[in-house]
Amino acid sequence: MRIWDHTTGKVVVYNSSFQVSQGRCLAIVGESGSGKSVTCRAIMRLNTFKMRQSGNIRLNGVDLAELSEADMRRHRGRHLCLIMQNGMRAFDPSSPVGSHFRDTLWQHYGWSRSQITSRMAKAMGSVRLQDPVALMNKYPHQLSGGMLQRMMIALAIVLEPTLIIADEPTSALDTLSQYEVMEQLIALRAETGCAMIFVSHDLSLVQRIADDIVVMRDGEILEHGTTADIFSGTRHEYTRHLLEAKQRLNRNFSNRMGGLQHVDR
Amino acid sequence: MTIHRKMWSDKLTAISLTVIAMVAFLGICAPWFAPHSPEQVHMELRYASPSWQYLLGNDHLGRCVLSRLIYGIRPSVLWVLAALLVSLSFGGILGILAGYFRGKTDQMIMRVCDIMLSFPGYVMSLAVVGILGPGIQNILIAFVIMKWAWFARVIRTSVMQFAEADYVRFAKAIGVGNAVIIWKHILPVALPDIAVISSSAFGTMILQISGLSFLGLGIQAPHAEWGMMLNEARGVMFSRPELMLAPGLAIVIVVSAVNFCSDALQAALDPKLQKNTRKPLRGQGLFPAKPKGEEVA
Amino acid sequence: MNGYIIKRTLLAAPLLIIISFLTFALNHLSPLNPAEVVLRAQGVPQITQALIAETEAALGMDRPFLIRYADWLASCLRLDFGDSYITGTPVWSLLGPALLNTLKLTMVSVIAILALSVGLGILCALKEGRLLDRSVRGVSFFLTSMPSAWLAAMMIWYFSVKLDWLPTSGMDSSAGYILPVTVLTVSYAGIYFRIIRSSMLSQLYEDYTLYARACGLPERKITLRMLKNSMQVAVSVFCMAVPVILGSTVVVESIFAWPGLGALTVNSILGRDFPVIQAYVLVLAASFVVFNTLSDLINAALNPRLRKEF
């Protein structure tokens, strides 16, 4: 796949390809600006019209790149589900969050209002949100980022997609909510058995959730391998650099904290 | 000086800047450029078509249209600019004080601004002219009175962002005087914002003064002013519509050039407009949550 | 929400009082003595000191300033703005019908401006950077740089004189509305179009739009959501459009001989008819405050964040 900026002619992501199979989780790591988010949006064909892309995106034998816009829209949400970075900004600020769920589920499944509410309530319960029906009637600004993040996960549970794309789902959260959201993501995988693309720059999170890792820098894939391989013996200078930086930080942190042995979550 | 370069690199902006500079130069040196006296009446040349001697023809009193146009730059553009600068410096000083010192000073100045801004600008210009009597100097006074609050408000918002910046805090902490901080650290960074609002106000003011002169409330005959020339041409609008052409086009050209520069300036300063990323960064300072009459009028 | 309504409405009251005071005080800044103006207007041949004193007493000018202000304010509330210096008739009998005429013109224009700028603003925001967007922006840019007097004159010359389609002036028939409304719309729609377009555009790059799209919502629904959010800016701007246009019809009224506020004001300014000018300023400034309050209230109703705070 290749992505470039139509107006400036600048190539954002060079020829890169990867695959995720059923039930596995692929992590894309890299520093900011390395093309991770653009890649995710390209899979869903959601980049602005200035960004052009070429190449194939295959999902269960269907080439998403060749679908019509209307077919693509049917795939979004139903087969491909996105979990955004910032929950606080992901919902329409002038409507209750429930209206988004209703619109989405009605669009894909045509369920009735009460059906949607009961299914959503169940899913929200499973991501440990208390009093789901009341929460659905709240406006986004009345809820916390972590809650909204979990609501997106709950929606994903109900949608039962083939592939979930989580674009830095935890980087806007505080440590505690981060932990909870990670728990829910792991549970979500276990529950639905779907494939997942997990974008992050936090290697400790990646280590916990991912089966395979793709390392990106400046729009190029540097390395591709299973989590164990990459963490135990990377072949690439840059990946080693990332890993070391992480470890150094941790070592530093544990040294400062004195007795604590291992702070890596 | 990247802003400078960005603006010049755009052809249309460069043309606009050149137009404005040329108009200003023509206006200042009007006596040398105008081929005739703008007020000399030649009854035998009434409504004469353009000729080599009178390039744009003659008006209803046989006066040279081109000369009147050139002399008209002074009240239509240069005096407006002067009024703008006076209003801007007054509003700017208050805005900087309010934004920098905050607290009581800020509150007091902003209360007064709120009251001033709750008066509709155009109506108040009319009112001031109504009370003081028609005449260009009264319109200019009205402009100064009506516009400063708007400048103060916008500049305050802009200054506030910078007054909280770390380097300003640092300067305060090591005991640099307030006046020095404002002069050296606040004013230079707030200047781009000030340039944007003043340039957009400039275009509106040129239009307003031509409107008021058109109504006969501005400059008094026989002096030349573009709005006044429109007013004079209006009497023969049905038989000699071409007389409206020259002053009208002059206004359109100058105002478009000013507006264009204002837009280009804003684009050069606003990272959002160049890259189309997400949030407006500087734009928010320029358009407070609720645009009031002044800005749209 | 109720608390906010009361609070915001109460906030408008002191502002109105200050405005009325300034309006009243403004007249006393005039270099001319009102008594002299009255006498001149009545065509008194010889203005003597005694006559001036007599007229001053008749106008109540000999009483203290604050008492006169209180009296004036009290009568203003009953729509009694005094008598015109020139015609000697009550100001309201001049102002009322003129206000009504201008209001008619304003309302039609505001509706036209609203339809045009919202429609084009949304369309251009959705087609950002394409030919349509660029050409509409170019045209609107050019039109906003035009003096409305000139535009009006050109239109009269073309449509009324050359083609003889439309009347040049007056408000006798509905055809008389076409030209003045067009001129006002053309001169002001550009400004509002830009506001709507940029507020729609800022929604376009919001995360919620991306998420809604990622969830497979149809474009129509997403546009509707964007519209709802961008309307928060637009509603207050359009509320203010009513008093802004109300105060800006002067030139257009003058050129189309529309018997409204503008014509009345210009004549009063030229004739130094202070009570009329005073009433005009007061009515318009008050309408500014009222609409400003209204727009804040509508905004609060639309914006759940504000609703929570109060």
| Of C98, C101, C70, C74, residue with least CA distance to C84 | C98
Helix (H), strand (E) at residue B175: none
- pLDDT of residue A9 exceeding 60, the answer is no
- Averaged pLDDT score across all residues of chain A: 77
The band of A229, judged by pLDDT with boundaries at 50, 70 and 90, is confident
When pLDDT is averaged across residues B102-121 and rounded to a whole number, the result is 82
Residue A211 resides in a domain: yes
**In the prediction, which pLDDT does C161 show?**
72
Q: Rounded to a whole number, what is the distance in Å from the CA of B172 to chain C's nearest CA? A: 35
Kindly state the percentage of chain B with pLDDT values over 70.
Answer: 86
Whole-angstrom distance, CA of residue C92 vs CA of residue B175: 62
Residue at B87 is within a domain: yes
**Residues forming beta bridges with residue A166, ordered by sequence position:** A83, A198
Q: Is the pLDDT of residue B167 over 90?
A: no
Chain C: closest CA distance from residue A12 (Å): 19
pLDDT at A12: 67
* All partners of chain B with 3 or more CB pairs under 8 angstroms: C
| pLDDT above 90 coverage of chain B, percent | 1
Q: What is the mean pLDDT of residues C163-179?
A: 73
Residue A265 in any domain: the answer is: no
Q: Are C216 and A100 an interchain contact pair (Cβ–Cβ within 8 Å)?
A: no
Task: Give the A window 123-182 contacts with C, CB below 8 Å.
Answer: 139, 141-142, 152, 155
Q: Identify whether B162 is part of a domain.
A: yes
Domain ranges for chain C? 91-307
Is the residue at B63 inside a domain? no
Beta pairing, strands A195-200 & A2-5: unpaired
- The pLDDT of A133-144, averaged and rounded, is 84
Report, as an integer, the average pLDDT of C216-222: 82
Q: Would you state the pLDDT for residue C222? A: 84
Minimal-distance CA residue of chain A relative to C230:
A94
* 8 Å CB contact between A120 and A155: yes
Radius of gyration of chain A (CA): 19
- A103 interface with C at CB cutoff 8 Å: yes
The pair of structure tokens assigned to A235 is: 């072949």
Task: Pick C304's closest partner by Cβ from A46, A50, A139.
Answer: A139
Helices (H) and strands (E) in chain B, counts: 16, 0
CB–CB contacts below 8 A, B to C = 176
| Sequence-separated (6 or more) residues with CB below 8 Å from residue C269 | B126, B129, B130, B134, B217, C277
- pLDDT tens sequence across A237-253: 777 777 777 676 666 65
Q: Which residue has the tokens 């030349």?
A: B224
Which phi and psi angles does A215 have, rounded to 5°? -105, 125
Residue B292: its pLDDT value, please?
36
Q: Is the pLDDT of residue C310 over 50?
A: no
In this predicted structure, what is the pLDDT of residue B285? 33
- Neighbors of chain C with 3 or more C-beta pairs under 8 Å: A, B
- Whole-angstrom Cα distance, residue C138 to residue C146? 13
Give whole-number Cα distances, B44 to A43, B41, B47, B63, C57, in Å: 79, 9, 9, 10, 54
- The arithmetic mean of pLDDT across residues B232-246, rounded, is 78
Q: How far apart are CA B43 and CA C92, in angstroms?
A: 46
Structure tokens given for A64:
């998403």
Nearest by CB to residue B211, choosing from C144, C148, C153, is: C148
User: CB-based contacts of A169: which residues, under 8 Å, 6+ apart?
Assistant: A83, A84, A85, A149, A152, A181, A185, A198
Least confident of A6-10, A54-58, C138-142, C268-272: A6-10
Q: Render pLDDT for B121-145 as a digit per residue (tens, 0 to 9).
A: 778 888 888 888 788 888 888 888 8
Residue A54 has pLDDT above 50, yes or no: yes
Q: Rounded distance, CA C145 to CA B207, Å? A: 8
Angle of helix B121-132 relative to helix B187-214, nearest 10 degrees, comes to 60
Per-residue pLDDT band for B270 (boundaries 50, 70, 90) equals low
**Which residues contact residue A199 at a Cβ distance below 8 angstroms, ignoring those fewer than 6 apart?**
A27, A28, A29, A36, A37, A40, A165, A166, A167, A168
Are the C-beta atoms of A25 and A195 separated by less than 8 Å?
yes
What does DSSP assign to residue C27? G
Backbone angles phi, psi at A161, to 5 degrees: -80, 170
| pLDDT of residue C304 exceeding 70 | no
Instruction: Name the H helices within chain C.
Output: 2-26, 34-41, 49-59, 65-77, 91-126, 131-144, 148-155, 175-204, 207-214, 219-248, 250-256, 261-271, 274-302, 304-309
Query: How many separate domains does chain A show?
Result: 1
Residue B233 maps to which CATH number?
1.10.3720.10
A34's enclosing H/E stretch is none
Taking the Cβ of residue C197 and every Cβ of chain B, the question of whether any pair is shorter than 8 Å is answered with no
pLDDT for the residue B86: 93
pLDDT at res. B291? 36
Closest CA to B249 of C102, C275, C147: C147
- Domain holding A27, by residue range, is 2-86+93-234
Residues 128-167, chain C, touching B (beta carbon < 8 A): 141-142, 144-150, 153-154, 156-157, 161
Whole-structure pTM value: 0.76
pLDDT of residue A265: 36
**Domain span at residue B228?**
72-271
Closest partner CB to C27 (pick from B131, B214, B293): B131
Q: Which two tokens stand for residue C184?
A: 């006002």
Helix or strand run (H / E) with residue B60: none
Amino acid B2: pLDDT: 60
Res B282: pLDDT: 33
Nearest to A92 among C129, C229, C302 (CB): C229
Instruction: Please name the residues in contact with B11: beta carbons below 8 A apart, sequence gap of 6 or more.
Output: none
Domain count, chain B: 1
Q: pLDDT higher for A134 or C165?
A: A134
* The CATH fold of domain C91-307: MetI-like fold (1.10.3720)
At position C253, the amino acid (one-letter code) is E
Q: Which residues in chain A have Cβ-Cβ distances shorter than 8 Å to C212?
A: 92, 100, 103
Mean pLDDT over each residue of chain B, to the nearest integer: 77
Query: CA A133 to CA A130: how far, in whole Å?
Result: 9
Q: For C212, which of A41, A85, A100 is closest by C-beta distance? A: A100
Task: Name the band, by pLDDT with cuts 50, 70 and 90, for residue A8.
Answer: low
Bridge partner residues of A224 (DSSP): A214
Provide the mean pLDDT of chain C: 81
Cross-chain CB nearest to C218 (options A73, A86, A152): A73
HSE-up of residue B19 (Cα within 13 Å, Cβ side): 19
Question: What's the rounded mean pLDDT across residues B9-23?
Answer: 83
- Going through chain A in order, the beta strands assigned E by DSSP cover 2-5, 11-13, 25-29, 51-54, 58-59, 62-63, 80-83, 163-167, 195-200, 212-217, 220-226
Least confident segment among A85-99, A149-163, B42-56, B91-105: B42-56
pLDDT of residue A257: 54
Asked whether the beta carbons of A39 and A221 are under 8 A apart, the reply is no
CB contact (8 A) between residue C305 and residue A74: no
Q: Cβ–Cβ of C217/A104 closer than 8 Å?
A: yes
**Whole-number pLDDT of residue B289:** 34
- ipTM reported for the complex, 2 dp: 0.79
- Name residue A212's beta-bridge partners: A26, A226
Under 8 Å CB-to-CB from C154, ≥6 apart: which residues?
Answer: B241, B244, B248
The DSSP bridge partners found for residue A82 are: A165
**What does the pLDDT look like over A28-48, one tens digit per residue?**
887 777 777 788 888 888 777
Q: Is C43 exposed, middle or buried (0-12, 13-18, 19+ CB in 10 A)?
A: exposed
Going C246 to C250 to C255 to C259, the CA torsion angle's sign is positive
Residue B156 pLDDT greater than 90, yes or no: no
- The bridge status of strand A62-63 relative to strand A58-59 is antiparallel
| Peptide bond before residue B222 is cis, with ω within 30 degrees of 0 | yes
CATH number of domain containing A31: 3.40.50.300
In-domain check, residue B14: no
In angstroms, rounded to a whole number, what is the distance separating the alpha carbons of residues A263 and A254? 7
Closest CA to C115 of C192, C174, C226: C192
| Side chain identity, residue C183 | V
Locate the chain A residue with the closest alpha carbon to C304.
Answer: A94
| C61 Cβ contact partners less than 8 Å away, ≥ 6 residues apart | C34, C35, C68
